[in-house]
Structure 1
Amino acid sequence: MINTKRPLEEKIALFWHGILCTGHAKCENPRQQEFEIDMFRRDGLGSVHDLLLGLAQDPAMVFFLDNCMSHKDAINENWGRELLELFSMGVGMDGQPNYTEDDVKEAARAFTGWTVANAMPRYPYGRYRSQFIYDPSDHDDGEKTFLGETGNLNGEDIIRIVAKHPGTARFIARHLYNFFVADEPQVPAWQHTPPRDPELIKKLEDEYFSSNYNIRSMLRVLFNSDGFKKARFAKVKSPAETVAGTMRLVGDFTFPKPGLNALALTIRYMGQDLLNPPTVEGWHTGREWIDSGTLVERINFTADNVGNLNLPGVRAIVERLRAEGPTLSPERLVEGCLEQLGAYELAESTRNELVALAHNEGEVQTGDEKFDTRVAQMLQSIVATTEYLFA
């Protein structure tokens, strides 16, 4: 996330990791999740149908949601339930349910026999990559009825039916809006809570079907919409976005060095333990990212980094402001720092306080030896504001 030359690819991998969740606390080995994240990078902008089918055959997910423990004479409903509730269509929309308990059971029956191969011995050559296998002898070949379709349905049929369901179009559209535009209510409320921008969500739903479920096409519609362009600073940055974005801003960790694990732990302390979500539902987003503990963690982390004049990104901010001339007004010092941090707009009262703070230090001389410190202190003051929590 910090050094990628393909930031949208990493953003979409993070997007899907927050929805199609597995956690290392219940995976056979860490590399299973590594391969899963690679799948999100590779297929995350393509067809939702293909992505869900890949997920159903992903050893990390098969093991995480116990489908390897689901047999034709003793089904396990975990995968069938979460596929419908949390990974595709959601429990309902417009006040109506999208599926029934019978649909969950029938989906689970259809995925019997979808399992993982027996683990190879780890020694002497190291761990082998886990493999998905289909065991026809353990598949329930009986007739099933799922969302109104009846037949000898298998896992591919379930994915096909789910992908074409209107609830899936709405579910994916609202997730994209929540991740890229503005905070929506939490997912469990979606059945009875309308979208924040119904018109834009409808456009995304239409594009979902006209593009054959293609995420890239939906994002093109989203990014070109007025709803996206006008929704500045309408979502709380996630911990991962806060930490990775700060590192990209200050230019640190541009090559491997000690301390990267501490960054990962910082994201955890802010409330987002990457690769280990609290439940299969993933993380609650928006204002739920912020409490008294995580807020202090955010402010301390960002302030420590933007105030570090040894970091190349901070030095570049200072030099860009110095290049504006021999003196800066206190108002321009504030505005210049806001622009460099991402064109933030502050409440008038907050802005006035920062301008007063700049005035207290006297005239801003860019050639003064104190100029660098004044810029760093102003950057620290800005990242401590409420406005800086948003993106």
Structure 2
Amino acid sequence: MKSDRALVAHLMRRAGFGATPAELDALSSEHTYEEIVDGLVNPERFPELDVTLIDRYYGGEPVAVHVGKWLYRMVNTQRPLEEKMSLFLHHIFPVAWGKSEHGPSLYSEIEMFRNVGLTDMKTILLELSRDPAMLFWLDNNENHKDEINENYGRELLELFSMGVGNYTEDDIKAASRAFTGWTFRQPLSLYPNGHYPAEFMFVADDHDYSKKTFLGETGNFDGEDIIDIIVRQPATARFISRHLYNFFVEDEVQVPSWATEPPKDEAAIQQLSRVFLDTGGQMRAVLSELFNSDFFKNARQFKKVKSPTELVAGVLKQTGEFSSPKPGMFQLAITTLNGSLIEGPMAIMGQRLMNPPTVEGWHTGHEWIDSGTLSERIGFVESQFDDMNKPGVSDMVQRIGDLDAEPSELVDRCLDILGGISVSEQTYASLVDYAQELRNIKDDSASVGVHNLLQMTASTVDYQFA
């Protein structure tokens, strides 16, 4: 029951945050590719991460602490697709700390994404519409039967489900009326109580019970009815499928251009859309179709730009420094000093988890990289691989062996141990030359030379791609 190791590595980078050499060995030798996919989309077969110690090291209420908890989960979970789907949903349904300044509600939303991300689109949109962080972010708490606020109704259609051009202004008004009375119970005052999470609340007296016409259907619709209708639309199947393709398969143009720019792979979008419509938006079925498809298996490996979160979580997973809770993790993302936010490496690279720049989320693909962020990215990887005492780094050095092998073989081992990295001919030649230099030096400790070569390989531009 062996699987192609490089293909498994590709799957784990895209469906999770990579895999250690030991994990890749076990997966590829003990399971077929299809079995691995089945385990990813059915994560309840694996134990949940024990988080009882996390609060000792990442305690408190600032958003930075909650980001640290989430990052720890990404690195250590046995259910990687749960966390990857949480990141996916956080990207396409963004809510920012900059407005609410309420960390517990933002983290509760991420926990909600984790719980529903592999269910169905109706459940996902319904829970999103009841989420206090989202309700506050898009002002639905100010959406009253006598004074309609269209912010949530508009974004639900434009950015969260159907996309521009598939609805009318009247549909926005009808959807907004259907969501009147959907609000949240105000949490206790911050002072002197501290942060308490908010809870969803339906105010019946503030709901518009009149008939509404939405996407050609008429009835006494409430928010749940609106979501029912949305999920049945071919436009929704296509829009969500294109999001999944962009996130898991290949970088697309940015979402605002989707109304005029065709998908990179029309056949793939149609394939995913059919499964979406046939199953009522069951995400397990759609993702299983995606990961088992030829278009995913044949996707250009190491050509999709890693988001800052994917890069940081993937590096931490490989180095093994945070395989158990200890101080310091959340500082890699964002931290606070005297109440002020200070950018960590992930934020400097352009991604502030729980604080996306706009309701569109982040612009992805090559927009992640410019001269400044590329320098930060490479510097981060180099610094994380610098300490040979980190358990993951030490394990990789031992697996590569000593410097007695031919330089090209040493480079091949480094590339393989890092997940089968594919590099340009020029980069490969430079690495071979460096390996030859290290062999000529013949340091007292051969492992030092191997470590230097491993660090150099991980610090290539090619490592920035998935």
Counterpart-to-counterpart distance in 1, 2:327 and 2:187: 33
Report the equivalent of 2:277: 209
Cα pair 1:334 1:355 within 8 Å, conserved: yes
Counterpart-to-counterpart distance in 2, 1:307 and 1:370: 16
1:312 aligns with 2:391: yes
Counterpart-to-counterpart distance in 2, 1:6 and 1:338: 26
Report the equivalent of 2:87: 14
Cα offset, 1:152, TM superposition: 2.2
Q: Specify every segment of 5 or more residues in structure 2 that has no aligned partner in the other structure, as ranges.
A: 1-73, 334-343
Secondary structure of the structure 2 residue equivalent to 1:373: helix
Cα pair 2:403 2:439 within 8 Å, conserved: no
1:149 aligns with 2:217: yes
Cα pair 1:169 1:208 within 8 Å, conserved: yes
Taking a change above 3 Å as real, the CA distance of residues 141 and 85 of structure 1, as seen in their structure-2 partners, is same
Report the equivalent of 2:205: 137
Taking a change above 3 Å as real, the CA distance of residues 123 and 351 of structure 1, as seen in their structure-2 partners, is closer
Report the equivalent of 2:46: none
Report the equivalent of 2:404: 327
Counterpart-to-counterpart distance in 2, 1:128 and 1:262: 23
Partner of residue 239 from structure 1, selected from 304, 308, 330? 308
Cα pair 1:169 1:205 within 8 Å, conserved: yes
1:272-301 deviations in whole A, cap 9, x for unaligned?
000000011100110000011111110001
Report the equivalent of 1:109: 177
Secondary structure of the structure 2 residue equivalent to 1:249: helix
Cα offset, 1:158, TM superposition: 1.0
Report the equivalent of 2:108: 35
Secondary structure of the structure 1 residue equivalent to 2:208: coil
Report the equivalent of 1:257: 326
Taking a change above 3 Å as real, the CA distance of residues 308 and 281 of structure 1, as seen in their structure-2 partners, is same
Cα pair 1:251 1:311 within 8 Å, conserved: yes
Counterpart-to-counterpart distance in 1, 2:173 and 2:242: 26
Identity %: 51
Taking a change above 3 Å as real, the CA distance of residues 126 and 305 of structure 1, as seen in their structure-2 partners, is closer
Secondary structure of the structure 2 residue equivalent to 1:87: coil
1:320-371 deviations in whole A, cap 9, x for unaligned?
111xx77211101111111111101111122112112222333597xx6342
Cα offset, 1:143, TM superposition: 2.5
1:195 aligns with 2:263: yes
Cα pair 1:111 1:154 within 8 Å, conserved: yes
Partner of residue 374 from structure 1, selected from 449, 455, 466? 449
Report the equivalent of 1:94: none
1:298-322 deviations in whole A, cap 9, x for unaligned?
0001011123212111111111111
Cα pair 2:118 2:284 within 8 Å, conserved: yes
Counterpart-to-counterpart distance in 2, 1:133 and 1:376: 56
1:270 aligns with 2:321: no
Greater RCO (CA < 8 Å, at least 6 residues apart)? 2
Partner of residue 164 from structure 1, selected from 229, 232, 246? 232
Counterpart-to-counterpart distance in 1, 2:102 and 2:174: 30
1:59 aligns with 2:59: no
Taking a change above 3 Å as real, the CA distance of residues 156 and 186 of structure 1, as seen in their structure-2 partners, is same
Cα offset, 1:251, TM superposition: 0.5
Secondary structure of the structure 1 residue equivalent to 2:75: coil
1:83-120 deviations in whole A, cap 9, x for unaligned?
111111111xxxxx111222112211111111112333
The amino acid of 1:359's aligned partner reads Q
Cα pair 1:48 1:213 within 8 Å, conserved: yes
Q: Normalised by the size of structure 2, how large is the TM-score? A: 0.79
Counterpart-to-counterpart distance in 1, 2:101 and 2:361: 19
Cα pair 2:100 2:133 within 8 Å, conserved: yes
The amino acid of 1:271's aligned partner reads G
Secondary structure of the structure 2 residue equivalent to 1:18: helix
Counterpart-to-counterpart distance in 1, 2:449 and 2:423: 19
The amino acid of 2:434's aligned partner reads L
The amino acid of 1:257's aligned partner reads K
Counterpart-to-counterpart distance in 2, 1:379 and 1:295: 19
Cα pair 2:356 2:362 within 8 Å, conserved: yes
Cα pair 1:186 1:284 within 8 Å, conserved: yes
Counterpart-to-counterpart distance in 2, 1:59 and 1:144: 25
Partner of residue 363 from structure 2, selected from 284, 293, 302? 284
Counterpart-to-counterpart distance in 2, 1:341 and 1:115: 47
Secondary structure of the structure 2 residue equivalent to 1:22: coil
1:300 aligns with 2:375: no
Secondary structure of the structure 1 residue equivalent to 2:418: helix
Cα pair 1:28 1:60 within 8 Å, conserved: no
Counterpart-to-counterpart distance in 1, 2:129 and 2:325: 34
Counterpart-to-counterpart distance in 1, 2:173 and 2:260: 24
Taking a change above 3 Å as real, the CA distance of residues 304 and 129 of structure 1, as seen in their structure-2 partners, is closer
Secondary structure of the structure 2 residue equivalent to 1:116: strand
